[in-house]
Copies of this chain bind each other. A is one copy, B any other.
Amino acid sequence: MSNTPQRVPDTKERILDAAEKLFGQNGFTATSLRDITAEAGVNLAAVNYHFQTKESLFEAAIARRMEPVNRRRIELLDAAGANPTLEQILLAFLSPLFVRHPNEAIGLMSQILATPDSFVRQLFKKHLAGVVNRFVEALQQALPNLTRTEILWRLHFTAGSMAHLMARGSVLPEISEGLCNPSDRPAVLARLVTFAAAGFRADAWGGDAGLGGEAA
C-alpha cells in the first residue's frame, strides 16, 4: 500500500507539476517561486529543500518531460525500420510532442526556445544533440539529394514551426476568426507533417535561384 498505482502526488511531484504549468505559461523569470508554491499548495521552503535553486527546479521540470519525448522519438524511428519514409521520420520526430499531459508540458518545452540565457541553451543541447544527430542521419538516407547542411536548415525550420505551434497556437483561433482549431491535435500534426515534408522535398537552393535580394 505504499506505492499503489493511484497514489496522491507527494510534495516534490506537486512542485514539479506547478512549476511545469506556470513556467510553461509565463516563462522562467516571470514566474516566482511563490507563484509555484501557491499553485502547488505547499510551503515556500519546500522548493528549496527539494530542488535547492529556482534554476535547478526549471531544469528538473524540463528533464521530466523531455526524456520520455526523446525516448519515444527514437522508439518510433526504430519501429519504422531500416528505410523509413520522410513522413515516418517527421512523425517520429513530431508526434511525441503532441501527446496531452496533465499540465500541458508542451508549453514548458516551448519556453526553452524562448529563454535566451546560456544555461537553458546548454540544457537544450544536452537533451537534444544526440536525438538530432540520429534524425539527421535518417533524413539524409531518405533524401540523398540534400546535403547535410540543407537538412539541418530544414530541420531548424520544421522545429520552428513546431515551437511556434506550441508557444502561440492558442492565438490561432483568434487571428483566424475561428477557422484554425489547434485543439484537434491529429489534424494539426498531419498538417504540419504535410507542410514540412513538402519543404524537405523542395529542390535544394544552389547558391542563387533568382531570390537574391528582394522581390520585384
Contacts and interface: CB of A to CB of B under 8 A. Distances in A.
Contact of A192 (B88, B117, B157, B165): B157
Q: Chain A interface residue count: which class?
A: 35 or more
A203 B31 CA distance: 42
Contacts of A63: none
B80 A215 contact: yes
Copy number of this protein in the oligomer?
2
B152 A214 contact: no
A87 B211 contact: yes
Interface of A: 25-30, 76-77, 79-80, 84, 87-88, 91-92, 95, 111, 113-117, 121, 124-125, 128-129, 132, 148-150, 152-154, 156-165, 167-169, 171-172, 174-176, 179-180, 186-203, 205, 207-209, 211-216
